[in-house]
């Protein structure tokens, strides 16, 4: 779905009011399972304990959400909360400057900060220092926080660290065997708690947990290992994959059995035209040779004759002969310009033509299925040499060869004072009129599979994962980003809201956890776009759906 959390296709398919698995959603409710007891324990320890408090867990375990709930549940009149992130300042100097700024303290040294904390305690306000992403702090920053948590006779700050489990061994080394901190490790949800968490998220978006089957919920719990952040990502991928599968099946079924009537009519017309052309071609090949037509040299005269008698032809050898096809020659159907217009909507949609384009495509289509047009004989009762109502004259043929044909045909000559015999001429072959080339409809430019990495994505196992970085409407932007970053960055093309969308991904990982862990190794600029793991199965579905 790219980084567009409010994808209209996703929301419309499930009739969500918003993305239920986004990081921040309207009307979000804190999920109490296994986290509410921890929240109560933090409030209790902050009041009665003199230790630095640590909340640890893997990425996506809900540490940041618990920190937000702790701040929201404190008494604002009795507690002054200062929230800082170790991502912005990992050393002691940068961290203390952030704390001093949050306390409006003019000095950032530890002792000066403690003096300011003591002044606030005299006014009845406690100081909560909450540090997110604490695993990024260096040892000097951790040591400074231990000093603030221990405090002095005038006062102390209540320090809360939220970080990965790797933070605990470092604190133990700094404590040097003393009891200076207390750690609380978050636990994953059970399968029943996972179901309740999904139900709460879906209910907030206007749907129920019934849209997920028991098998899907069990699979979501297994893949996420019960951690809420991973539950959000796996549940979104599961719903997207199910949506793409249903749409693909519906499109195939609709094309096979539920075509609109106008599309069916167009297919019938094309099939009839092709069948007629094939039958007439077979008839032309199987019929005996048509009666030879007389050749009239230019300038010849035709004497009036009685009914049933052959005309008397005066010879003039000064010009090439003009040929007329026999009256038994079948007329090719349909004639261009006279047939009923062919409905071309399915072909136009396939070729990218608009509905209001000119009728050139219809003429090209009709020309492609019509048999070759040779020549049309004058109707019976018309005197040779006079034009019929709608004559079609074949191109001028070269002079007849002097060789005697294998089957000569003589033309009878009516009696006259000076009869002139007409030399036998070979039966002329039908002369095909020039066939107008079929104009191919303009095709939309499509990026090659190699340029967009389509073949590479199809070669990956559907159970593997990639990190989705960003989505853009410009292929040039995606190519420039991939060239700039290099390495394992690739992009593929999908169709989003009827327009192409180019999605940049990074790497190929065997498991979701491996892909999640690789985010930390990405450049800060790339991490700012909030990359997230997704399965190659969902990528392959989107690439095929275009």
For the cut 80, the answer to whether the pLDDT of residue 432 exceeds it is no
* pLDDT averaged over every residue in the chain: 73
The residue with greater pLDDT, 415 or 34, is: 34
Q: How long a stretch of residues is the chain?
A: 546
> What are the structure tokens assigned to 493, written together?
């093309």
Mean pLDDT of 284-302: 47
What share of the chain in percent tops pLDDT 70?
64
The residue with greater pLDDT, 291 or 494, is: 494
Mean pLDDT of 288-292: 47
- Burial level of 531, CB count in 10 A (0-12/13-18/19+)? buried
Q: What are phi and psi of 55, to 5 degrees?
A: -110, 115
pLDDT at 282 (0 to 100): 61
Mean pLDDT of 498-519: 91
> What are the structure tokens assigned to 49, written together?
């304990």
pLDDT at 252 (0 to 100): 65
Mean pLDDT of 51-65: 91
CA distances from 215 to 58, 238, 248 (A): 26, 11, 21
pLDDT at 275 (0 to 100): 84
Look-up: residue for tokens 């039908």? 430
Give the model confidence (pLDDT) of 468-492 as tens digits.
Answer: 998 888 899 889 989 988 888 999 8
- 508, containing H or E segment: strand 499-509
For the cut 60, the answer to whether the pLDDT of residue 365 exceeds it is no
pLDDT at 259 (0 to 100): 58
Q: What's the CA angle centered on 257, arms 255 and 261, to 5 degrees? A: 85
User: Are the beta carbons of 163 and 133 closer than 8 angstroms?
Assistant: yes
302: helix, strand or coil: strand
pLDDT at 219 (0 to 100): 94
Residue among 310, 48, 22, 238 at smallest CA distance from 158: 48
For the cut 50, the answer to whether the pLDDT of residue 168 exceeds it is yes
Give the model confidence (pLDDT) of 332-347 as tens digits.
Answer: 444 344 444 443 334 3
For the cut 90, the answer to whether the pLDDT of residue 291 exceeds it is no
CA-to-CA distance for 127 and 129, rounded, in angstroms?
A: 6
pLDDT at 304 (0 to 100): 45
For the cut 80, the answer to whether the pLDDT of residue 466 exceeds it is yes
Structural domains for the chain: 8-25+193-254 (no CATH), 36-185 (3.40.50.300), 259-284+321-376 (no CATH), 449-545 (3.30.70.1070)
Lowest-confidence segment of 246-250, 253-257, 316-320, 485-489 by average pLDDT = 316-320
pLDDT at 126 (0 to 100): 92
Query: What residues pair up with 56 in beta bridges, in sequence order?
Result: 163, 185
Query: What residues pair up with 375 in beta bridges, in sequence order?
Result: none
- Burial level of 448, CB count in 10 A (0-12/13-18/19+)? exposed
pLDDT at 452 (0 to 100): 58
User: Are the beta carbons of 375 and 430 closer than 8 angstroms?
Assistant: yes
User: Are the beta carbons of 392 and 431 closer than 8 angstroms?
Assistant: no
pLDDT band at 380 (very low <50, low <70, confident <90, very high): very low
Give the model confidence (pLDDT) of 185-206 as tens digits.
Answer: 999 999 999 999 999 889 888 8
Q: Where are the alpha helices (DSSP H) in 31-88?
A: 36-48, 63-72
């Amino acid at each position: 779905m790219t980084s567009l959390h409010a994808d209209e296709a996703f929301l419309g398919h499930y009739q969500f009011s918003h993305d239920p698995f986004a990081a921040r959603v309207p009307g979000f409710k804190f999920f109490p399972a296994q986290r509410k007891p921890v929240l109560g324990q933090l409030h209790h320890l902050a009041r009665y304990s003199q230790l630095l408090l640590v909340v640890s867990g893997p990425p996506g375990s809900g540490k940041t959400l618990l920190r937000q709930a702790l701040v929201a549940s404190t008494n604002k009149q009795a507690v002054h909360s200062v929230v800082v992130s170790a991502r912005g300042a990992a050393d002691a100097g940068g961290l203390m400057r952030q704390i001093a700024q949050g306390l409006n303290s003019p000095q950032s040294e530890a002792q000066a900060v403690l003096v300011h904390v003591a002044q606030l305690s005299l006014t009845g306000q406690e100081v909560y220092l909450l540090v997110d992403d604490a695993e990024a702090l260096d040892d000097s920053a951790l040591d400074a926080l231990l000093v603030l948590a221990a405090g002095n006779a005038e006062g102390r700050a209540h320090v809360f660290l939220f970080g990965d489990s790797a933070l605990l061994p470092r604190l133990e080394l700094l404590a040097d065997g003393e009891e200076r901190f207390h750690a609380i490790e978050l636990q994953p949800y059970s399968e029943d708690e996972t179901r309740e968490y999904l139900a709460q998220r879906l209910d907030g978006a206007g749907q129920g947990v019934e849209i997920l089957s028991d098998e899907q919920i069990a699979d979501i719990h297994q893949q996420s290992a019960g951690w809420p952040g991973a539950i959000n990502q796996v549940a979104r991928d599961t719903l997207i994959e199910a949506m793409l599968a249903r749409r693909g099946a519906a499109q195939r079924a609709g094309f096979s059995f539920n075509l609109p009537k106008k599309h069916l009519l167009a297919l019938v017309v094309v099939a009839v035209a092709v069948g007629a052309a094939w039958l007439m071609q077979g008839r032309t090949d199987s019929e005996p040779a048509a009666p030879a037509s007389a050749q009239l040299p230019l300038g010849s005269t035709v004497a009036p004759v009685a009914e049933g008698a052959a005309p008397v032809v005066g010879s003039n050898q000064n010009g090439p002969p003009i040929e007329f096809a026999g009256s038994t020659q079948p007329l090719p159907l349909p004639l261009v310009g006279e047939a009923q217009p062919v409905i071309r909507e399915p072909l136009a949609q396939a070729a990218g033509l608009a509905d209001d384009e000119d009728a050139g495509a219809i003429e090209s289509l009709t020309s492609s299925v019509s048999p070759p047009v040779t020549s049309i004989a004058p109707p019976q009762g018309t005197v040779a040499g006079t034009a019929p109502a709608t004559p079609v004259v074949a191109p001028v043929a070269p002079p007849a060869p002097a060789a005697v044909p294998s089957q000569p045909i003589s033309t009878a000559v009516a009696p006259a004072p000076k009869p002139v015999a007409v030399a036998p001429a070979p039966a002329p072959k039908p002369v095909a009129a020039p066939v107008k080339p079929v104009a191919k409809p303009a095709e939309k430019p499509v990026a090659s599979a190699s340029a967009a990495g389509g073949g590479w994505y199809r070669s990956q196992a559907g159970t593997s994962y990639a990190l989705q970085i960003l989505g853009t409407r410009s292929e040039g932007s995606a190519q420039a980003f991939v060239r700039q970053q290099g390495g394992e960055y690739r992009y593929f093309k999908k169709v989003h809201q009827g327009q192409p969308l180019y999605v940049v991904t990074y790497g190929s990982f065997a498991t979701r956890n491996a892909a999640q862990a690789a985010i930390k190794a990405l450049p800060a600029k790339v991490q700012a776009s909030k990359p997230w793991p997704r399965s190659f199965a969902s990528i392959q579905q989107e690439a095929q759906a275009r």
